[in-house]
A = this chain, B = another copy of it.
Amino acid sequence: MKSIGLKKKSEATREALLAAGTRLFAERGFDGASVDAIARGAKVNKAMISYHFRGKDGLYRAILAETFEPTLKRIEGLKADSRPAPERLKTFVSLFAEMVDHRPGLPAMILREVLSGGHHLDERTIPYFLAVLAAVQQIVKGGIRERSFRRVDPILTHISLIGGLVFFFATQPLRERFAREGRLPVRLPASAAYVAHFQNLMSRALQADEPLKTVRKRR
């Protein structure tokens, strides 16, 4: 049989390595995750990493690139979105959460990368980080211009926004561990609950002091 519709086995291998790599890089960092462990996690031979991704570095960057790409396109789509800034900000938060849903380890990888000053990034992956920054900036500045947001510093606001968002997803492993060990209540917050909480929190935090519902007279 000439295998027309079915996915090739090599693609399954690739995908298994991407998934296992994300999990292990997220959990243990670049140096902490050995290629041996990744291959074992993907149930694939070690040598496949060199074959498909030209080594450990290549696999690492491929994970960032292939996961960021689709989400980034959607995030950049927000630039064309004509709804008011608070709406677009909420959508941004939701999009971020969807990305995480697709590859749960990504926030941790992003965070680790940011922590190390981008040690493992190259010219292909750096732009992703800057593009997210640009998208948030555009929303915040737009909101200030249309007077739905107060006059916050866009960079500082960006940091608070991404920080609060990434931290939730990245800390789930620890909360799960603490819950398992009885150090925290067993009922842990779900992603959806946090997304709603955080959208609300940021909306209130950024809201302009005078909602400008009606035209004001000089007094």
In the complex, A119 has a CB within 8 A of chain B: yes
Copies assembled:
2
A118 to chain B, nearest CB (A): 6
CB under 8 Å from chain B, chain A span 150-204: 152-153, 155-157, 159-160, 162-168, 170-171, 173-174, 176-178, 183, 189, 193-194, 197-198, 201-202, 204
Choose the segment among A13-21, A26-34, A74-82, A210-218 that binds chain B (4+ C-beta atoms closer than 8 Å): A26-34
Considering the chains assembled together, what is the distance between the CA atoms of A138 and B47 in angstroms? 52
For A159, the chain B residues whose CB sits under 8 A away are 164, 167-168, 171, 189, 194
A2 to chain B, nearest CB (A): 45
Considering the chains assembled together, what is the distance between the CA atoms of A96 and B167 in angstroms? 17
Considering the chains assembled together, what is the distance between the CA atoms of A30 and B112 in angstroms? 12
Size bracket of the A interface: 35 or more
Q: Which residue of B lies closest to A105 (CB)?
A: B115
For A170, the chain B residues whose CB sits under 8 A away are 111, 114-115
In the complex, A136 has a CB within 8 A of chain B: no
In the complex, A126 has a CB within 8 A of chain B: yes
Q: Which 6 A-B pairs have the closest CB atoms?
A: A163-B167, A31-B31, A117-B173, A205-B205, A31-B32, A160-B164
